[in-house]
A and B are shown apart, each in its own frame.
Chain A
Amino acid sequence: MGSYTITMFKYFALISFLTISLNSIGRTIVVAPGKSSVLKNTILQAADGDTLLVQKGIYKEQDILVAKKLVIIGQGFPTIDGDHKGQLIVVTRDSVTISGLQLQNTGRSSMTDMAAIRLQNVQFARVVNNRLVNNTYGVYLQNSHYCLVYNNTISADAKDELNSGNGIHAWKSTHLLIQSNKIKGHRDGIYFEFVTDSRILYNTSDKNIRYGLHFMFSHQDVYTHNTFADNGSGVAVMYSKKVEMYNNTFRHNWGDASYAILLKEITDSKIEHNLFAKNTVGIYMEGTSRIDVRHNEFVENGWAMRVQASCDNNTFEKNNFLSNSFDVATNGTMMLNIFNNNYWDKYDGYDLDKNKIGDVPYYPVSMYSVVTERIPGAMILYRSFLTDVMDQVEKLMPSVVPDQLKDNNPMMKSWKLR
């Protein structure tokens, strides 16, 4: 994994080097605010390889078309204000850099997706160190490849949820690196549709209306070291293959239909070293196969995991389950998944041979989670005296709980994961 980051880094370093060497033959043009459409006019006169130094101030322009290989650098965060009309910057040429700008107030439309920066059919574009405020879509990558979106702050007003768009929206693209961005208050923080071979690293995505991160039909992607908190429903990874999720933090995704991760129709993926804290459901899975869930910590969730009967050949190994109301819930009786070597704080077995592994299996589905799965309304009696009695009786004489769903080697001590 680490080597991959390094190769990606080298790759972008190479691009930067090439861009810089190109610049040395281009001119540097200083743009100051004042005249109307000064940005558009300057771009008209510029040539491939030129650098635009945009001075501090307010530029009221929309639909600025960048069809030349330009480096656009803002000094002291000059503001491009769309006045709630149109898009701001549309890039249609390879190797364009946009850096140090504040972009705000795109238009809203139900017909076109209005973006602050739209990268359209390009390669090697770089969007770095910008502030994007109150736009429908932030950065919109459309059929673009080998692009970098790094260290941008993207925020919008979450109240108008009907017309809002996504913070970083990628569609039919490959080889993207989305790193160290802070995204807040959009529909989905980061949205991937038909995007392959891309990396999402060290981003913070919170308080978005729907999902912090949303994958649809996107294969061979990796996301690591991101934080997703307080999003409407967490993170959704759907209809994808070979997605790797490492070292992410999923915190406080709370609500009736909320999950830290919603997995639907996913195969051959890995979920490792993540922290799931205070979510309604840690992982909800439906129609997933061959997923490894290892070394994760589930703390103080309503349900640590809800595994639907349609899931098979998944492995849950060496995870910590701490202070969750329910560890695992399922709607079926058959269980075609493997649970092994997890630490369950509710385990009350013994270890006579002192090998740090409990001598009797642990059944993570409690009787009451079976009941509430069938009759959600029964939750109102949770933690009542009656249900405690039922839980104890079930432990002595199992009859409701799916007996194949068990951890044969539960750990006596929790794993050190953090």
Chain B
Amino acid sequence: MRRFISIALVLQLILLASCKPQFEKIEYGKEACSHCKMTIVDARFAAEMVTSKGRAYKFDDILCMKQYADNNADQSNNALFFVAVYGSGNKDEFTDAKRALYLKDDFFRSPMNGNYAAFSTTEAVKKLKDSLNVQPIAWEAIQ
């Protein structure tokens, strides 16, 4: 009986671990955007939504993720949202989309013309904010 319980516990642990929603690396040049079907190549504007069931949806533009999330409320409910940190120089550096700050300007020329860039800190956003003369906005304001 004890053995049975321990096996059950181990199994449960494995199942728990595999189901925990977490960020999944994007394979640039191979994976397609879930919203616009374009291949994701530009790491500066990539985004990812991980549903509460743990399935990752990847996007090539922050606006794509926002639109997809708005159109598919059943999937985006309680989902985690990640956005690439603009200017980080690291293609795998993502941050929580709901806490990030965004600048919108035609200067960015993102793949789907969303033209939003995400920043994780106020210091990082400050440099570009002044030269572009735009005000940072929050996740909810993206449309």
> Is A286 on the interface with B (CB-CB < 8 A)?
yes
> Is A83 on the interface with B (CB-CB < 8 A)?
no
Q: Is the CB of A161 within 8 A of B44?
A: no
Q: Could you tell me the distance between the alpha carbons of A216 and B61 in the complex, rounded to whole angstroms? A: 14
> Is A210 on the interface with B (CB-CB < 8 A)?
yes
Q: Is the CB of A187 within 8 A of B38?
A: no
- From A187, A255, A262, A286, contact of B30 by CB (8 A): A255
- Residues facing B in A198-222 (CB within 8 A) are 209-211, 216-217
> Is B32 on the interface with A (CB-CB < 8 A)?
yes
Residues from chain B with a CB closer than 8 A to the CB of A257 are: 30-32, 37, 39
Q: Is the CB of A210 within 8 A of B29?
A: yes
> Is B134 on the interface with A (CB-CB < 8 A)?
no
> Is A103 on the interface with B (CB-CB < 8 A)?
no
Q: Could you tell me the distance between the alpha carbons of A17 and B36 in the complex, rounded to whole angstroms? A: 45
Q: Could you tell me the distance between the alpha carbons of A162 and B26 in the complex, rounded to whole angstroms? A: 12
> Is A273 on the interface with B (CB-CB < 8 A)?
no
> Is A110 on the interface with B (CB-CB < 8 A)?
yes
Residues from chain B with a CB closer than 8 A to the CB of A232 are: 29-30, 39
- From B28, B37, B89, contact of A161 by CB (8 A): B28
Interface size on B, residues (CB 8 A): 17
- From A161, A162, A238, contact of B38 by CB (8 A): A238
Q: Mark B68-94, 1 if CB is under 8 A from A, else 0.
A: 000000000000000000010101000
- Residues facing B in A169-209 (CB within 8 A) are 187, 209
Q: Is the CB of A210 within 8 A of B39?
A: yes
Task: Tell me the nearest residue of chain B to A171, going by C-beta.
Answer: B109
Q: Is the CB of B29 within 8 A of A161?
A: yes
Task: Tell me the nearest residue of chain A to B60, going by C-beta.
Answer: A210
Residues from chain A with a CB closer than 8 A to the CB of B32 are: 233, 257
> Is B43 on the interface with A (CB-CB < 8 A)?
yes
Q: Is the CB of B30 within 8 A of A162?
A: no
Q: Mark A110-133, 1 if CB is under 8 A from B, else 0.
A: 110100000000000000000000
> Is A256 on the interface with B (CB-CB < 8 A)?
yes
Q: Could you tell me the distance between the alpha carbons of A111 and B105 in the complex, rounded to whole angstroms? A: 13
Please tell me the size bucket of the interface on A: 20 to 34
Q: Is the CB of A286 within 8 A of B39?
A: no
Contacts A110-B44, A110-B87; A162 near B28 (Cβ below 8 A): yes
Task: Tell me the nearest residue of chain A to B89, going by C-beta.
Answer: A110
Instruction: State how many angstroms separate the Cβ of B37 from the closest Cβ of chain A.
Output: 6
- From A162, A233, A264, contact of B39 by CB (8 A): A233
Residues from chain B with a CB closer than 8 A to the CB of A217 are: 113
Q: Is the CB of A162 within 8 A of B36?
A: no
- From B31, B38, B44, contact of A236 by CB (8 A): B38
Residues from chain B with a CB closer than 8 A to the CB of A238 are: 36, 38
Q: Could you tell me the distance between the alpha carbons of A162 and B27 in the complex, rounded to whole angstroms? A: 11
> Is B124 on the interface with A (CB-CB < 8 A)?
no
Q: Is the CB of B41 within 8 A of A209?
A: yes
Q: Is the CB of B41 within 8 A of A256?
A: no
Q: Could you tell me the distance between the alpha carbons of A187 and B37 in the complex, rounded to whole angstroms? A: 16
Q: Is the CB of A286 within 8 A of B37?
A: yes
Q: Mark A227-258, 1 if CB is under 8 A from B, else 0.
A: 00000110010100000000000000001110
Q: Could you tell me the distance between the alpha carbons of A217 and B87 in the complex, rounded to whole angstroms? A: 27
Q: Mark A255-274, 1 if CB is under 8 A from B, else 0.
A: 11100001010000000000
Q: Is the CB of B41 within 8 A of A210?
A: yes
Residues from chain A with a CB closer than 8 A to the CB of B41 are: 161-162, 187, 209-210
Instruction: State how many angstroms separate the Cβ of B129 from the closest Cβ of chain A.
Output: 15
Task: Tell me the nearest residue of chain A to B32, going by C-beta.
Answer: A257
- Residues facing A in B1-36 (CB within 8 A) are 28-32, 36
Instruction: State how many angstroms separate the Cβ of A156 from the closest Cβ of chain B.
Output: 14
Q: What are 11 sample pairs from A and B whose C-beta atoms fall under 8 A apart?
A: A162-B41, A210-B38, A210-B39, A210-B41, A217-B113, A238-B36, A256-B30, A257-B31, A262-B37, A262-B38, A264-B36
- Report, nearest first, the 6 A-B pairs whose CB atoms are least far apart: A257-B32, A161-B29, A210-B39, A233-B39, A209-B29, A210-B41
If A162-B28, A162-B41, A216-B113 are given as contacts, then 6 extra A-B residue pairs at C-beta distance below 8 Å, sorted by A number, are A110-B44, A110-B87, A256-B30, A257-B30, A257-B32, A286-B37
